[in-house]
Structure 1
């Protein structure tokens, strides 16, 4: 799929008129794609699906911008100020800043393309049921994925599930409950339509299991624990954790789309980077490594990792995951290309020390595994590193959480222990078999922090657990404030969501700004 999404893009044709004859001007091009004949060719629909993924994996969403703005908001990252680039991730942004605009626009662009596929691909156009459903099911999954991020980033958003209505362009915002209901409905359609697996050039496309996992995650966020348990439990045994020695392969270009990967976004390494949207061939350009590289390697100066995460790994004796997640001065630590940490990261260590923070840096998705500093370039190029959006370990921890919140704590133990066992940690079944619900809740919070650090889950977790203010507010339970480099402070009642872009409100007076952003 990494190659096919790049190659098969929808392109608008330009027509050159060579004569003014009425006969020529009245000619109909029967080979062109139009509303009338869209959905009558499998290859055509595959290209349309790739076109629907394009805004999601392009630069202005997962390829870069959502990391720079939204995902770096968590308490894992102490972000160095870098002008407007870091305004959102440090809680200093406002509706005039760009970092909420592009994700909004790209997600709705993807939704519009999904709506076209869902509406126009019919039995008449593609008679074979399995083929048709494997195509349309991807559109249902992707539309749910798009709305999942819209509702978690922006809250109440326009809910559009059909083709554009020229008489109703100024749409109203739907409340979050309605958006969640649509997400569930779309994922149930995707579950029933998509295959259990793909092969060949289609490897990496969304599967029935991916739809089930996102549905279970959605139910967990909605606090519908019984429904979450049903969905997530159905995935147990359908995937497997990589061995401990291969844990780092979950974040590298090695062994992509592996047995632990439930859903990952596909990216290609290319030596010429194009900054733009809907440019043919640019839809798989991931440049997010800029946001996870250490300060002297990142053009945007990046961040340091806050010491609470290092302390958590060390308190648990978690060497396996720490070594693939963080780079600091532990025994055997390395930087780019396997070079000794203190040698390769000397400049970064100086930057951190000069700023008065501990020199702790991200390894996941930083490109350290791809070569030496000289070999790994982030300017004018990009690296082909798939992003694992949902891993099986995440499924197991979400299942444990749902069981615990459903007052089935003893049943939750086996699933958190499956994750701990891979990390060579003591098992709760052996050390605390009668663990209380409250203690299990804390154990899951800590386990998610260690297992999923730097993968884009932490901020959303803190918000849904109602802990964001405790850890990132004016007074942080961490002690040192996790955004001390910028001075930004999380405000409850405001920063759970990002702002609705001013440009969208100007264009549509029916849109209301999120709380706290009108001042």
Structure 2
């Protein structure tokens, strides 16, 4: 566990060159407090603080912070796991899959992602050909920065499709960058992750899972190759993570899964980015309902009915509150809605071990390794206290097993990083989306978020997605 008094680790970025006050990407002036790389990268101590600052700052940028403008929240709202209880047009448009090009939440999501990419690029430039730093630290900074950049581009691609591929901090050329071919971006993602996997450690220092390691790279490579339908590579990489039993385990106590330094965590983000103000996650703050706080989302009846009544996930990760005689169910993976003092006990979960079994199950299904796919599905089901799938003649039906994987992904990964939205899009599950209370759903427009209009006004080389 990390104590809030250790806040100095996150302050470095605020006074350093990594952040500018506005998250806008396309038109960026040189920050007034930009420091030269010589100031930051002339010794190991300051360079390591800059890296830690970047990781902590992920908790504050909209793209990654778990709040109303994040991938987790807006991706979940766009899918079919939630009902919306809000009059905010900014949120209603995501729920109805009819996002206007001037939606401010969409702009914050986009610009927050490019903020993370800028920070990664700045760190990479700072350590390039740097003889003042130790080789071990240079490797660590390059590996983590490449990982964060790859992670961010993966989400941009699957939210917006083709986007500008920015690999430098040259704001003048970046401001007029046009979108890059989808495969070229995926190639860069894979290159970054393969390079990072060789630079980073296999383990976590002091079990601190906020710093990505080699297995985090493997886990994201497994996901990337799954989305690219490179099923053998997806199986191979997920197997590398699953075999790391000294690092990861599926926890039988569901209350422990989302704690700081959880043994199920592959990568987490610490709320230390709040500064000295609070010690809770934004995920918990945005999703948990209390008698005095009515958050805008509740779990949909369709989602709740997807569970077996004896499923331990339903018992442990879903709670309810009665408001105005209505029973509203909400995600309860995070147990703390608000806390302004004391030790940080929950971290924001970004990637976790259970997903790797589901990635491998899907890859094995598509490789016609049906018995092995069923074993992976059953690993998740048995942890959840529900009956395993029998290896019968029917269970050798590829379409049937694939649907079982999709269903388990929905129940296991709900409220986390837009997983359900990405599954609906990549499998073109239009019927599920049309069954939502959203008569405005249409395709292809609704399967991509729009490029923010204000960004296109600044950069005439950005094309809009179809239908907008």
User: What TM bracket, shorter-length normalisation?
Assistant: 0.7 to 0.9
Aligned mate of 1:228, from 217, 230, 234: 234
The residue that corresponds to 1:320 in the other structure is 312
The residue that corresponds to 1:470 in the other structure is 431
CA-to-partner distance for each residue in 1:308-347, whole Å, 9 max, x for gaps? Answer: 2222213xx433111122225xxxxxxxxxxxxxxxx332
**Are 1:259 and 2:263 an aligned pair?**
yes
How far 1:446 sits from its partner (Å)?
Answer: 1.5
CA-to-partner distance for each residue in 1:337-359, whole Å, 9 max, x for gaps? Answer: xxxxxxxx3326x245xxxxxx3
The residue that corresponds to 2:413 in the other structure is 452
Gapped regions of structure 2 (runs ≥ 5): 18-33
Are the aligned partners of 2:318 and 2:333 in contact in 1 as well (CA < 8 Å)?
yes
CA distance in 1, matches of 2:207, 2:371: 43
Are the aligned partners of 1:144 and 1:184 in contact in 2 as well (CA < 8 Å)?
yes
Please give the secondary structure, in 2, of the residue aligned with 1:500. coil
> Residues 203 and 439 from structure 1, CA distance in 2 versus in 1: closer, same or farther, beyond 3 angstroms?
closer
**Are 1:82 and 2:87 an aligned pair?**
yes
CA distance in 2, matches of 1:515, 1:196: 42
CA distance in 2, matches of 1:514, 1:298: 37
The residue that corresponds to 1:8 in the other structure is 12
Counterparts in 2 of 1:413-452, with a 5 A limit?
Answer: 413-429=374-390, 434-452=395-413
Structure number with the higher helix fraction is: 2
> Residues 225 and 399 from structure 1, CA distance in 2 versus in 1: closer, same or farther, beyond 3 angstroms?
same
CA distance in 2, matches of 1:361, 1:127: 48
The residue that corresponds to 2:25 in the other structure is none
The residue that corresponds to 1:302 in the other structure is 296
The residue that corresponds to 1:346 in the other structure is 322
The residue that corresponds to 1:242 in the other structure is 250
Please give the secondary structure, in 2, of the residue aligned with 1:158. coil
The residue that corresponds to 1:213 in the other structure is 219
How far 1:100 sits from its partner (Å)?
Answer: 1.3
> Residues 297 and 95 from structure 1, CA distance in 2 versus in 1: closer, same or farther, beyond 3 angstroms?
farther
**Are 1:141 and 2:133 an aligned pair?**
no
> Residues 417 and 201 from structure 1, CA distance in 2 versus in 1: closer, same or farther, beyond 3 angstroms?
closer
Please give the secondary structure, in 2, of the residue aligned with 1:182. helix
How far 1:94 sits from its partner (Å)?
Answer: 0.4
Gapped regions of structure 1 (runs ≥ 5): 14-31, 274-281, 329-344, 353-358, 371-375
Q: Which protein shows a greater Rg?
A: 1
CA distance in 2, matches of 1:516, 1:44: 48
CA distance in 2, matches of 1:269, 1:158: 28
CA distance in 2, matches of 1:175, 1:248: 42
Question: Over the residues paired in the alignment, what is the CA RMSD in angstroms?
Answer: 3.0
Are the aligned partners of 1:53 and 1:110 in contact in 2 as well (CA < 8 Å)?
no
> Residues 250 and 95 from structure 1, CA distance in 2 versus in 1: closer, same or farther, beyond 3 angstroms?
same
Counterparts in 2 of 1:17-36, with a 5 A limit?
Answer: 33-36=35-38
Please give the secondary structure, in 2, of the residue aligned with 1:173. coil
> Residues 228 and 157 from structure 1, CA distance in 2 versus in 1: closer, same or farther, beyond 3 angstroms?
same
Counterparts in 2 of 1:29-108, with a 5 A limit?
Answer: 33-36=35-38, 38-54=40-56, 56-63=58-65, 64=67, 65-66=69-70, 67-90=72-95, 91-108=97-114
CA distance in 1, matches of 2:385, 2:431: 30
The residue that corresponds to 1:19 in the other structure is none
The residue that corresponds to 1:335 in the other structure is none
> Residues 94 and 346 from structure 1, CA distance in 2 versus in 1: closer, same or farther, beyond 3 angstroms?
same
CA distance in 1, matches of 2:221, 2:86: 36
Please give the secondary structure, in 1, of the residue aligned with 2:241. coil
The residue that corresponds to 2:457 in the other structure is 506
Aligned mate of 1:129, from 127, 135, 138: 135
> Residues 83 and 415 from structure 1, CA distance in 2 versus in 1: closer, same or farther, beyond 3 angstroms?
same
CA distance in 2, matches of 1:243, 1:117: 35
How far 1:104 sits from its partner (Å)?
Answer: 1.6
CA distance in 2, matches of 1:290, 1:37: 37
Counterparts in 2 of 1:180-219, with a 5 A limit?
Answer: 180-200=186-206, 202-219=208-225
The residue that corresponds to 2:121 in the other structure is 115
How far 1:88 sits from its partner (Å)?
Answer: 3.9
Please give the secondary structure, in 2, of the residue aligned with 1:86. helix
Are the aligned partners of 1:187 and 1:215 in contact in 2 as well (CA < 8 Å)?
yes
